[in-house]
Structure 1
């Protein structure tokens, strides 16, 4: 039996660190509730590429959480391929240690976090519960955590360029009214 139900592998612990960062100096009162929601199967996740949508039902409330992850840079993917391999093998803790020794950042980095709840913060109980569920899923299949960061996807022929991101929002001052209204 493992001591920690979330993040008992080194791959999964990176996801737990999103909910419990080391730089945090005081206890977060939302963490026990978030762990309880995740432990009691209150989170249903759907992953599509680098985007995870989680539907959380707690009591009479329902929330939808959206987590988008930044892709691993192309040089990291290239350097990680000999360590982890391209075949769908399960990465081990030894592979994680080899990647860390090579200086390869494999920890997930959220690009965008959004929740439909009224808390209006990126660290609401729903987002934290989603991180715990993702930690559990990555503990079961570490390759899933790499796939969420775009490891298994071919970004294209140019190895030197980082993948371009489309902005989620268009600033209003960049829109030309003449394009949308007839004068």
Structure 2
């Protein structure tokens, strides 16, 4: 596994699997370009909590890509705490032990967005971000846990709390009250 350019640790391979899912039956023509962009430092990514914001420069074009990762459940955080009390660097053995316990450490995407003109769910920019994150997580496996919300989870958190809504559904608006004015 050490011959892999991206995902040479089990922690980074979870991000590579987002770009190269095992269920894929035919080659994706975007993958070589995405690997090239990530390899040549074309991705400038910042991680803020569970959101990765990246700017990708390729030729004369620039795109802004955002990837949101769903937080781990409180039960998963509690279960992982038994395997990862607070080591300086989580190893592949720790990853295998957690996976053997039935806990998935693969990031689950809550949402993605890209400003490119492709308007596809999987554009070359998004794939390049996956490879860049795989490279970063290979270098620092704690980032793999941090982006899942492992270190930010407080003991008083629970699974019953609803996540903050990003959008107001149109069905939640009352058209009779929305377009009326209040008397002055």
After TM superposition, the score normalised by the length of structure 2 is: 0.92
- Mapped contact 1:12–1:142 kept (Cα < 8 A): yes
Residues 100 and 107 of structure 1: CA distance in aligned 2, closer, same or farther (over 3 Å): same
Name 1:102's counterpart in structure 2: 101
Question: CA RMSD for the aligned pairs?
Answer: 1.7
Once the two structures are TM-superposed, the CA of residue 180 in structure 1 deviates from its matched residue by: 6.0
2:45: which partner in 1?
Answer: 45
2:170, 2:6 → 1: CA distance? 42
- Measured in 2, the distance between the counterparts of 1:3 and 1:158 equals 40
User: Are the equivalent residues in 1 in contact too, given 2:63–2:125 (CA < 8 A)?
Assistant: yes
Equivalent residue, structure 2, for 1:35:
35
Larger Rg: 2
Conserved 8 A contact 1:73-1:162: no
Q: Are the structure 2 counterparts of residues 180 and 157 from structure 1 closer, same or farther at C-alpha, using a change threshold of 3 Å?
A: farther
Q: Where does 1:66-77 land on structure 2 (aligned, <5 Å)?
A: 66-77=66-77
| C-alpha separation in 2, matches of 1:168 and 1:145 | 24
Residue 118 (structure 1) aligned with residue 148 (structure 2): no
Q: Distance in 2 between matches of 1:142 and 1:129?
A: 19
- What are structure 2's unaligned runs of at least 5 residues? none
- Counterpart Cα distance in 2 of 1:163 and 1:14: 27
Does the CA contact (< 8 Å) of 2:68 and 2:112 recur in 1?
yes
Cα distance in 2 for residues equivalent to 1:139 and 1:163 = 32
1:172 aligned partner? 170
TM score, norm. by length of structure 1: 0.93
The answer to whether residue 124 in structure 2 is matched with residue 152 in structure 1 is no
In the alignment of these two chains, the number of paired residues is: 181
CA contact (8 A) 2:77 2:153 kept: no
Q: Distance in 1 between matches of 2:160 and 2:56?
A: 33
Aligned pair in 2 of structure 1 residues 156, 122: CA closer, same or farther (>3 Å)?
A: farther
Residue by residue over 1:106-157, the C-alpha shift from the partner in whole angstroms, topping out at 9 and shown as x without a partner, is 1101100000001112210000000000000000011101100100013451
Q: Distance in 2 between matches of 1:148 and 1:158?
A: 17
Take 2:87 and 2:54, find their aligned partners in 1: how far apart are those partners? 25
1:88, CA displacement in angstroms? 5.4
Using the alignment, how far apart are the partners of 1:155 and 1:148 within structure 2? 15
Alpha-carbon distance change, 115 to 62 in structure 1, aligned in 2, over 3 angstroms: same
